[in-house]
Amino acid sequence: MSKKNITAESLFDLYSVANPNLSPAGDRAVFVRTHMDKEENKYVSNLFHADLASGQVTQWTYGKNRVSSPAWSADGSKIAFLSDRDGKNQLYVLSAAGGEAERVTDFANGVSAFAWSPCGKKVWVNGAVKKDKSFTDKEEEKKDKNPEPVVIEKMKYKADGLGLLPQDLFRQIGIVDLESEEVTQFTEGDHQYGLNTVSPDGKKIVFSVNRAENQDFEFRGGLYLADAESKEEKAIIDQDGYYGGAMFSPDGKKIAFIGADRRLENATHADVYVYDVASGSLTVLTESLDAPVGDLVAADFQQGTETPAAVWAGNDALYFQVSVMGDVRLYYATLEGELYPATPENEHVYGYDVTKDGKTALITASNPVHPGELYAQEISTGERKALTSFNAKFIEEHEIAKPEPIVFKGPKDWDVHGWIMKPAGFEEGKKYPLITEIHGGPHTMYANTFFHEFQVLASKGYGVLFVNPRGSHGYSQEFVDAVRRDYGNGDYQDIMAGVDYAIENNDWIDTERLGVTGGSYGGFMTNWIVGHTDRFKAAVTQRSISNWISFFGVSDIGYYFSEWQHGAVMDDVEGLWDISPLKYAANVNTPLLILHSEKDFRCPIEQAEQLFITLKHMGKETVFVRFPEADHNLSRTGKPNLRIERLDQITGWFEKYL
């Protein structure tokens, strides 16, 4: 039986399995499964339970809403989770013996995070509270809803995915008593508190906060240890950079967390830190590792991938993710200095938990030909057992193209890593077009993970080249930093060297039918490429940057991103213009499709508007497609129908010109 091609609509047939969470005894687990509902045009996720001994998997929640953040009570009798089934995310508690989940909060602005108190009778919560109000105070619905102006006094006044930020909402921490349903607010003031964790004896909590009055030039999130009764607090770390994901060791004597300082601004590798509660000493556990801690993958498939920053195995060892050479692997480290990978190469571990003895890991993992499932892995032997098979039928029925890893030399004789994917149904002796894909960031990475868009292109008869040029994460600190103050130079040369390498080593590539596409930074680079070479016969730029001068003032991150990445502020108009693709519009001879989201606040749509009008005014071949109700993350989390349309626009453009 011939296998089916993967299409844009295949997204509706796939399941994302994520967020595994082990019971305290380590014999059972819960996880979240998400799929795209075509009829409802939305994402639906539900809670599932797995018995590790029998391998039996049971669906525990139903309905057409989202669930997230499942967590067991300390005695294993209950599971709490967040769900938007009543509109905003609220906290629900479900008995581990089964039954109906009970909603335990009715907060005006929902719940963003929570942590069980070890007693199992209380839950610490995080949620937005209006100034001078409480968690549960709700605004009266106005009968006549007239538009009201918004007064802006701060530069950090908007955010992609959120829109204009409310000026009078502050994230606070509180405690919910499950028996009395009483809610007590723990923090106060006009600050944004982030709940991290609760100590094993329930007497202390860790939270993040920056109490500076003007946050416009504050790029730090300190961590604090507070007494649950007296509220007396002590700084764990309070310096430039972002720190979070704190977790107490089982004996409560140490706190592990991850963070990155600002030595190289947003290009700095993240590390694992360990804080000694008694002495106040701080150790960087991953100091010898020249790779970033965490999952830095650029992909388009996985949903609901909440992962712990680190998980303790006993009181003197930790597990955590590391992005390295196109993989995301689980690493093991002891407080004495041992450090090594605990999962194999050539895959993307995008979710995990570990038993208290450190012997068994529960992971969700994907690779380039597998969308991902839930596995139990014995750490010492590497033996792995699949607990779910939601995508097995899809894999069996569809032809999935397998990328081949490549390594080539860029400028400075640096090794650059990437992959090349032959078209589905590849036939020897036949010539095929090649599309080069460029990731965003630039500080992310392509990886050994399932990428639906690449599979769609391969199924349409295209080869796909995707590389990690300088600036990409997963490699050395020098490599990730090398793109800063050098946009359009070394990174451009790395990408073009990848194209040259692919052509030299694959005689099936038709050099007269080359295409290029990318989003965000990849959109900038697509714009840059077509302004500097005519090698590509068609290009698609997505959520792109065309003018760094206007980007400075219109992006939610523009006024500091430009300084971090280019070393340039608005008084360096000439410097910003020199690296703006718009400057080179007259050189563009490649037919260019421009895709952009109406509600993109990261790379606002005016960037696309400037590019389109300029090219059109010059008589260039270009089309502009605007996506309503979509933000910067259209390709990853956008409305299902718009994601399908986006892919159809891309493949339609390449079909027309290649």
544 vs 542: CA distance, rounded Å: 5
Q: For residue 48, give the nearest of 369, 390, 404, 314 by alpha carbon.
A: 390
User: What's 369's DSSP letter?
Assistant: T
Q: Answer yes or no: are the C-beta atoms of 364 and 18 closer than 8 Å.
A: yes
- DSSP reduced 3-state for 510: strand
Neighbours of 491 (CB within 10 A): 24
Q: Is there a contact between 348 and 447 (Cβ–Cβ < 8 Å)?
A: yes
User: Residue 265 in contact with residue 564, Cβ under 8 Å?
Assistant: yes
Q: Residue-wise over 452-461: b if at least 16 C-beta within 10 A, else e?
A: bbbbbbbbbb
Helix (H) or strand (E) holding 592: strand 592-597
Say which of 10, 68, 83, 520 is annotated catalytic. 520
What single-letter amino acid sits at 571?
Answer: D
Nearest to 200 by CA among 21, 20, 24, 22: 24
Of 50, 4, 125, 635, which is closest to residue 363 (Cα–Cα)? 50
Find out whether 147 and 133 touch, Cβ atoms under 8 Å: no
- Quick check: is 632 catalytic? yes
Q: What's the Cα-to-Cα distance from 197 to each of 66, 113, 185, 431, rounded to whole Å?
A: 23, 10, 16, 57
Spot the catalytic one: 49, 366, 632, 635.
632
Q: Please name the residues in contact with 578: beta carbons below 8 A apart, sequence gap of 6 or more.
A: none
Q: Is 398 a catalytic residue?
A: no
- CA atoms lying within 13 Å on the CB side of residue 609: 10
Strands (E), 56-177: 57-59, 67-72, 78-83, 90-95, 102-103, 113-116, 122-130, 158-159, 163-164, 169-177
- Provide the annotated active-site residues: 520, 632
